[in-house]
Amino acid sequence: MKFIDPHHDQWRTVGGEDGPMSHPPIKSYSLLTLGQWHAVREQWPAQGSVDYKPVGVILPNDTDIEVLEADTAKLALVVLQFPKWVDGRAYSQAHILRARYRFTGEIRATGEVLVDMMPLMARSGFDAVTLRSDQDRAAAERALGFFAARGHYQGDIKVTKPVFGRAA
């Protein structure tokens, strides 16, 4: 799991004096709202093309993840939001991105991200987090190792079968 320091992050939101630009320029490490992405996605070069610029999208957790299905080949980052720590819809969004759409870019959690959430985030497909400001990174790293040696009974993104369905 990668821990993001918001003050040293290479990804930048694209805004103007009055909020997000409606048609942002094509620029490397742009972090766009869903509306901005819809405005420029047809013009944005695909990964692997000579003129590709890494782009990310911030997706609210009440948005159907299916809106990004056709765009996963162009995206390098999807930021999923936890507006409250008790609202787990972003776990499902991450799982769908990884399992159904085979998204290989970075999936980042932001918002009310707590240490206790780390193991499930890793199992759901997140690979980067911005912890809430009162959370301790060292404690989060320890939380990721709690079940590492024994594994989990249920399947997850990496090991899809439950224990009883795995080869001995």
Please provide the DSSP assignment of 37-89 as one string. HHHHTTTSPPTTSTT---EEEEE-TTS-GGGGGGGTTT-SEEEEEESSTT--H
Which residues does residue 80 pair with via DSSP β-bridges, in sequence order? 59, 109
Mean residue pLDDT of the chain comes to 87
What is the model's pTM?
0.84
Q: Is the pLDDT of residue 153 over 80?
A: no
Q: Which amino acid appears at position 52 of this protein?
A: Y
Q: How confident is the model at residue 21 (pLDDT cuts 50, 70, 90)?
A: confident
Q: How confident is the model at residue 26 (pLDDT cuts 50, 70, 90)?
A: confident
Both tokens of residue 6?
């918001």
Sign of CA dihedral 117, 60, 157, 4: negative
Tell me what the mean pLDDT of segment 46-64 comes to.
90
Quote the CA–CA distance of 115 and 41 in Å, as a whole number. 34
